[in-house]
């Protein structure tokens, strides 16, 4: 038992007043004190108190070493920042995916000499097809007007003597499956008056797989950087443990349970994760503030329905909860590795 902390004990100049240790006073060491009769309520209150102490104590220790704390928090924050930004980017790109899935349609460009009756007939037969949900007629004039607006080449279109654009029939299929679109195309491509058929399906599919890839990349980065956060806090807690070795030994000798010894370290891991995540959240908001203006302008070119999406409430909560859980888990890794030395 005589190991460890070297003491500074030396025969001091003081001589305790002989009357000081007072035997007549009720001693603190009467066996079987009140504690053995503590009620469940008192015990619960005691346990709550222990948790509060652990939480407060670990915060106080973080505050006592501001530079260390700030650096650890920054590392955690930066590790969490990247996946959060990618998530926001992915969210914004996904808007296009959704609205382009809506534009899943087949264009039948018509011959210029087609008669209105023929168009009417063609349109009716298309509507009767079970794979078709809706048919839209776009006249040559409307196509020219749309093109003028869409391309910004209004002057040139107006300057042309006759409209080079054909009228078209646009079919919206009942579903977004590729073979549905192909069946529809095959059904009507050879009808009289149809000059050309275009299918946007391939393009939509390409965009969708791109978005899926982005999703996977975000997921992989979240995993990798979560591991980073886990090991960063794990290492920080390991150094905390090393610096409090003497205290841990004394506490173990006077009857502290493993849970009691581990608690402040677990709390500091959790704090580190939570505060790191909060810092990451602030950084994300600052960066989004920076991106918002240009991004809004860019999105406006594609139409009013596109809005810049920030970090929503749900994602924010996941970020904070994730940080907390990772910090706790990192601390737990270090603590459990040291546990066996505490007896």
For 100-193, list the strands marked E by DSSP: 106-110, 132-138, 168-173
**What are the Cα distances from residue 159, in Å, to 40, 150, 156?**
91, 17, 5
The tally of CA atoms less than 13 A away on the side-chain side of residue 17 is: 4
- What are φ and ψ of residue 293, in 5° steps? -55, -65
Please identify, among the stretches 44-52, 168-176, 201-209, 321-329, the one whose residues bind other proteins according to the rule CB under 8 A: 44-52
Please identify, among the stretches 38-46, 128-136, 228-236, 290-298, the one whose residues bind other proteins according to the rule CB under 8 A: 38-46
Supply the minimum distance, in Å, between the C-beta of residue 67 and other proteins: 18
Q: At what angle do helices 201-243 and 245-253 cross, to 10 degrees?
A: 70
Please identify, among the stretches 98-106, 135-143, 247-255, 308-316, the one whose residues bind other proteins according to the rule CB under 8 A: 247-255
Distance CA 159, CA 231 (A): 67
Q: Residue 92 contacts by C-beta under 8 Å, 6 or more apart in sequence? A: 295, 299, 308, 309
242 binds other proteins (CB under 8 A): no
Please pick, from the candidates 254, 303, 304, 313, the single residue that binds other proteins as defined by CB under 8 A. 254
Contact positions with other proteins (CB under 8 A) in 256-285: 256-258, 260
Nearer to other proteins (CB atom), residue 129 or residue 252: 252
Please identify, among the stretches 18-26, 158-166, 203-211, 296-304, the one whose residues bind other proteins according to the rule CB under 8 A: 18-26
For the chain, list the strands marked E by DSSP: 106-110, 132-138, 168-173, 194-199
Please pick, from the candidates 255, 301, 303, 304, the single residue that binds other proteins as defined by CB under 8 A. 255
Supply the minimum distance, in Å, between the C-beta of residue 14 and other proteins: 5
Q: Residue 270 contacts by C-beta under 8 Å, 6 or more apart in sequence? A: 324, 327, 328, 331
**Binding residues with other proteins: total (CB under 8 A):** 53
3-state secondary structure 59-119: HHHHHHCHHHHHHHHHHHHHHHHHHHHHHHHHHHHHHHHHHHHHCCCEEEEECCCCCHHHH
Supply the minimum distance, in Å, between the C-beta of residue 74 and other proteins: 26
Instruction: Kindly state the DSSP code that residue 160 receives in the 8-state scheme.
Output: S
Please identify, among the stretches 2-10, 173-181, 223-231, 272-280, the one whose residues bind other proteins according to the rule CB under 8 A: 2-10
37 binds other proteins (CB under 8 A): no
Classify burial at 140, counting beta carbons within 10 Å of its beta carbon; exposed 0-12, middle 13-18, buried 19 or more: middle
343 binds other proteins (CB under 8 A): yes
1 binds other proteins (CB under 8 A): yes
Distance CA 179, CA 170 (A): 17
17 binds other proteins (CB under 8 A): yes
321 binds other proteins (CB under 8 A): no
130 binds other proteins (CB under 8 A): no
Distance CA 91, CA 86 (A): 8
Nearer to other proteins (CB atom), residue 15 or residue 314: 15
Rg (CA), the chain: 36
Nearer to other proteins (CB atom), residue 103 or residue 257: 257
Nearer to other proteins (CB atom), residue 14 or residue 128: 14
Instruction: Kindly state the DSSP code that residue 192 receives in the 8-state scheme.
Output: T
**What are the Cα distances from residue 18, in Å, to 9, 15, 25, 27?**
20, 8, 15, 17
Nearer to other proteins (CB atom), residue 13 or residue 152: 13
Please identify, among the stretches 7-15, 159-167, 224-232, 288-296, the one whose residues bind other proteins according to the rule CB under 8 A: 7-15
Please identify, among the stretches 5-13, 107-115, 149-157, 202-210, the one whose residues bind other proteins according to the rule CB under 8 A: 5-13
- List residues near other proteins by CB under 8 A: 1-2, 4-17, 20-23, 25-35, 42-43, 45-47, 49-50, 53, 246-247, 249-258, 260, 343
């Amino acid at each position: 038992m005589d190991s460890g902390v070297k003491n500074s004990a030396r025969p001091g100049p003081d001589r305790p007043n002989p009357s000081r240790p007072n035997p007549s006073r009720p001693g603190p060491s009467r066996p079987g004190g009140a504690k053995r009769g503590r009620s469940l309520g008192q015990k619960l209150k005691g346990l709550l108190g222990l948790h509060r102490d652990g939480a407060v104590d670990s915060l106080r220790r973080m505050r006592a070493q501001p530079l260390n704390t700030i650096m650890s928090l920054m590392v955690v924050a930066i590790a969490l920042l990247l996946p959060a930004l990618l998530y926001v980017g992915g969210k914004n790109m996904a808007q296009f995916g959704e609205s382009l899935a809506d534009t899943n349609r087949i264009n039948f460009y018509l011959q210029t000499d087609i008669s209105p009756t023929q168009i009417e007939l063609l349109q009716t037969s298309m509507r009767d097809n079970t794979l078709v949900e809706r048919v839209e007629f776009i006249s040559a004039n409307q196509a020219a007007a749309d093109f003028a607006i869409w391309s910004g080449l209004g002057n040139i279109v107006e300057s042309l003597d006759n409209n080079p654009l054909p009228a078209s029939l646009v079919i919206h299929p009942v579903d977004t499956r590729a073979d549905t679109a192909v069946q529809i195309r095959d059904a009507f491509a050879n009808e009289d008056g149809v000059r050309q058929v275009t299918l946007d399906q391939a393009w939509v599919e390409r965009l969708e797989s791109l978005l899926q890839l982005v999703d996977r990349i975000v997921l992989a980065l979240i995993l990798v950087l979560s591991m980073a956060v886990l090991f960063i806090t794990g290492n920080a807690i390991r150094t905390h443990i090393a610096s409090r070795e003497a205290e841990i030994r004394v506490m173990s000798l006077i009857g502290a349970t493993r849970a009691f010894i581990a608690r402040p370290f677990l709390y500091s891991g959790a704090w580190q994760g939570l505060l790191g995540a909060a810092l990451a959240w602030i950084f994300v908001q600052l960066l989004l503030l920076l991106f918002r203006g240009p991004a809004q302008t860019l999105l406006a070119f594609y139409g009013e329905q596109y809005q810049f999406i920030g970090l929503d409430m749900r994602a924010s909560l996941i970020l904070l909860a994730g940080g907390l859980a990772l910090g706790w888990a990192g601390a737990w890794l270090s603590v459990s590795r040291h546990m066996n030395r505490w007896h």
